[in-house]
Amino acid sequence: MNLIEEFNAYRSQMNDKILAEDNKVIKRIFNLDTNAYAEGTIDVKSKEMMGLACSMVLRCDDCVKYHLGKCFEVGLTKEQVFEVFSIATLIGGTIVIPHLRRAAEYWETLENQ
Amino acid sequence: MNLIEEFNAYRSQMNDKILAEDNKVIKRIFNLDTNAYAEGTIDVKSKEMMGLACSMVLRCDDCVKYHLGKCFEVGLTKEQVFEVFSIATLIGGTIVIPHLRRAAEYWETLENQ
Amino acid sequence: MNLIEEFNAYRSQMNDKILAEDNKVIKRIFNLDTNAYAEGTIDVKSKEMMGLACSMVLRCDDCVKYHLGKCFEVGLTKEQVFEVFSIATLIGGTIVIPHLRRAAEYWETLENQ
Amino acid sequence: MNLIEEFNAYRSQMNDKILAEDNKVIKRIFNLDTNAYAEGTIDVKSKEMMGLACSMVLRCDDCVKYHLGKCFEVGLTKEQVFEVFSIATLIGGTIVIPHLRRAAEYWETLENQ
Amino acid sequence: MNLIEEFNAYRSQMNDKILAEDNKVIKRIFNLDTNAYAEGTIDVKSKEMMGLACSMVLRCDDCVKYHLGKCFEVGLTKEQVFEVFSIATLIGGTIVIPHLRRAAEYWETLENQ
Amino acid sequence: MNLIEEFNAYRSQMNDKILAEDNKVIKRIFNLDTNAYAEGTIDVKSKEMMGLACSMVLRCDDCVKYHLGKCFEVGLTKEQVFEVFSIATLIGGTIVIPHLRRAAEYWETLENQ
């Protein structure tokens, strides 16, 4: 199982278990998460770039992986993804670099799958 | 060795090594950590819920595990723990969700041990 | 206008303007915020203590003020509030102390109003 | 002097003083800041939306003001800006709301100037 | 009352009120704060530079002011302080810049008092 | 392969891949990272202690490992490194402790290699 399958499998298994608890607040937050990134007055590509950049500056590897998967799906190029990386690293500082390494590795895996 | 034993073993081994260095400030912080969660004008259950919620919004998986262990010991129910999860996820945002997944997994391990 | 009136007036004026924009995601988040702190399997007092502790470790003065107002309303004592402060300062470190100062000042204003 | 003039005046006065110290690392960071947001494989509007979203999740009011000013200049609409706000508030949680209030006020000032 | 007097007066007044509450955990944290920065195997100057750098990357203006005051007292030069600023801004990213502006202003006030 | 070799190998492999993308902003940030820690009006030892302390309060394990490696190289003693740990844990709070455990383990590996 590669990085992508492992990430997706765990994510989807645990999401199911969490939603099964039927906590109203958590269910609504999960629901909002789908709504917020849908096409609106801002297009999906720009929203995914924002999601990726925010995930990097907040240094959340799993969030970065999730949004990289989406960025790949919606057709962002490697150059664009690295431009998002550059803005996030500048805003968030060198503390972001370890996450940048894992992000670059995950993007490479997405391209080679 | 399951998730719980692995976490506890590493935690306790490294705490011993750290305390053996005899750094006064570190020793006192470790000591305060025991004091602060003891029964006071606030009961232990509420304190552990606070410890859990703070650990989640600060996105510290090991701290979450530690407080989940304590929440389990003092008799919090799964519904209560998920209510803490919901407040922490609302306050801390979707960036908390990857930690929520690992927290839900750890709680399940605690219940099944 | 004292600290409390000033805080509440600005908060309520801006909330109205934000909700008037009719952004579905923002409206639902505001809505969830009311839901999450309602009595559940965890009582309101414990939830407000969690809200206060999380606000302090995340170092958000306005969030601290809001939850202090609620803690006062639901009848927490000064000793209890200071116990929440102590746990938050221990978890979040000395970086929390400037927020502790403003929190102590706001609580005093609540008691003297 | 309104919110915008006050912000810009202090920002520009202090930037001058900081750059006058001639610290090479600081000067280069300031320089990179200009480069990173220039048109590239990602357009300026999307970059400014990213800058705004990151500033909100990191809860930096001055950074939010700066990027709101830029978003206004490059022609983003109020609906678009509120969509950025919604994504940032969802990612960063309710802890972002006090910053959302100040952001909404600043945007209103930009529109009314 | 200038920036320095205002900061010191509020800090000292609120510290007194907080310590008067006699919360054991809080009192010990305040106490540790004095201990940790005392001469040890690391000299006071280096400790204050660390305190300043940490305060900047954690973006706590009051903590920055406090450590700038100490850095001034122990005789750090403007060049050294700006070198600390540069490392902190690099590690913490451009999000630190608004705090750098206020830090530079406070240092100038310290030099001109 | 021990902890140190594993860390260095991944770090250096991914740095090469990232720099190969030829993103100007990222390359300059990497470059600044070398410049900022070079001997200046502040000596290299103090700079590395600052880098270590900032990495701990920002809770970045990889950054901690990197600076621990440098602290070891420039000849800091175990007592000094634990004094940096103590200041970082006090500033950043008990949330830093899990990172302190991994830092203590990594330092031990450096000493035993």
Q: Which residues of chain E have a CB within 8 Å of the CB of B24? A: 35
The pLDDT value given to residue D81: 98
User: What mean pLDDT, rounded, does chain D reach?
Assistant: 97
Structure tokens at B80: 């209560």
The pLDDT value given to residue D51: 98
Selected residue of E21, E25, E31 to mutate for chain B interface (largest B Cβ count, 10 A): E25
Q: What angle do CA F98, F104, F110 make, to 5 degrees?
A: 140
The pLDDT value given to residue B102: 98
Taking CB atoms and an 8 Å limit, are E55 and C100 in contact across chains?
no
Residue F19 binned pLDDT confidence (cut-offs 50, 70, 90): very high
User: What mean pLDDT, rounded, does chain F reach?
Assistant: 97
Q: What tens-digit pLDDT sequence spans chain A (113 residues)? A: 799 999 999 999 999 999 999 999 999 999 999 899 999 999 999 999 999 999 999 999 999 999 999 999 999 999 999 999 999 999 999 999 999 999 999 999 999 99
For range E28-48, the mean pLDDT: 96
Selected residue of F91, F96, F99, F100 to mutate for chain C interface (largest C Cβ count, 10 A): F91
Residue C104 binned pLDDT confidence (cut-offs 50, 70, 90): very high
Taking CB atoms and an 8 Å limit, are C87 and B57 in contact across chains?
no
Cβ-nearest to F24 among D28, D29, D35: D35
Taking CB atoms and an 8 Å limit, are C49 and B54 in contact across chains?
no
Q: What is the rounded CA–CA span in Å between residue A28 and residue A40?
A: 19
Cβ-nearest to A104 among F17, F24, F55: F17
Least Cα distance to B9 among B62, B58, B81, B50 occurs for: B62
Q: D-side interface with F, Cβ within 8 Å?
A: 24-25, 28-29, 32, 35-36
Taking CB atoms and an 8 Å limit, are F95 and B63 in contact across chains?
yes
Size of interface C-F (CB pairs under 8 A): 28
Indicate whether E79 pLDDT > 90: yes
Is the separation of the CB atoms in A64 and A106 below 8 Å? yes
For range B80-106, the mean pLDDT: 98
pLDDT tens-digit series, residues D75-100 = 999 999 999 999 999 999 999 999 99
For range B44-72, the mean pLDDT: 98
Q: Among residues of chain E, what percentage have pLDDT more than 70?
A: 99
For range C1-24, the mean pLDDT: 95
Taking CB atoms and an 8 Å limit, are F18 and A98 in contact across chains?
no
Is the separation of the CB atoms in D97 and D89 below 8 Å? yes
Touching chains, A (3+ CB pairs < 8 A): B, C, D, E, F
Taking CB atoms and an 8 Å limit, are A36 and C25 in contact across chains?
yes
The pLDDT value given to residue B82: 98
Indicate whether F1 pLDDT > 90: no
Q: Which residues of chain A have a CB within 8 Å of the CB of D57? A: 54, 57-58
Least Cα distance to D101 among F108, B32, C66 occurs for: C66
Structure tokens at D95: 């802890």
Give the DSSP per-residue string, F4-37. Answer: HHHHHHHHHHHHHHHHHT--HHHHHHHHHHHHHT
Q: Which residues of chain C have a CB within 8 Å of the CB of F59? A: none
For range D16-23, the mean pLDDT: 97
Indicate whether D1 pLDDT > 90: no
User: 3-state class of F62 per DSSP?
Assistant: helix
Residue of chain F nearest B60, judged by CA positions? F95
Taking CB atoms and an 8 Å limit, are E91 and A96 in contact across chains?
no
Give the DSSP per-residue string, chain E. Answer: --HHHHHHHHHHHHHHHHHHT--HHHHHHHHHHHHHTSSSSS-HHHHHHHHHHHHHHTT-HHHHHHHHHHHHHTT--HHHHHHHHHHHHHHH-GGGHHHHHHHHHHHHHHHH-
The pLDDT value given to residue E23: 97
The pLDDT value given to residue F87: 98
For range E89-100, the mean pLDDT: 98
The pLDDT value given to residue A57: 98
Q: What is the rounded CA–CA span in Å between residue F4 and residue E15?
A: 44
Q: Which residues of chain C have a CB within 8 Å of the CB of B58? A: 57-58, 91-92
The pLDDT value given to residue E27: 97
Q: E-side interface with C, Cβ within 8 Å?
A: 10-11, 14-15, 17-18, 21, 23-26, 29-30, 33, 54-55, 58, 60-63
Touching chains, F (3+ CB pairs < 8 A): A, B, C, D, E
For range E88-98, the mean pLDDT: 98
Selected residue of D13, D19, D25, D66 to mutate for chain E interface (largest E Cβ count, 10 A): D25
Buried b (16+ CB within 10 A) or exposed e, F5-18: eebeeebeebeeeb
Residue of chain E nearest D34, judged by CA positions? E94
Taking CB atoms and an 8 Å limit, are E89 and A90 in contact across chains?
no
Integer angstrom CA distances of residue B66 from A52, A58, B81, D86: 30, 23, 13, 33
CB half-sphere exposure, D6, CA atoms < 13 A: 6
User: What mean pLDDT, rounded, does chain C reach?
Assistant: 97
Helices A24-36 + D78-92 axis angle, to 10 = 140
pLDDT tens-digit series, residues C26-75 = 999 999 998 999 999 999 999 999 999 999 999 999 999 999 999 999 99
The pLDDT value given to residue D67: 98
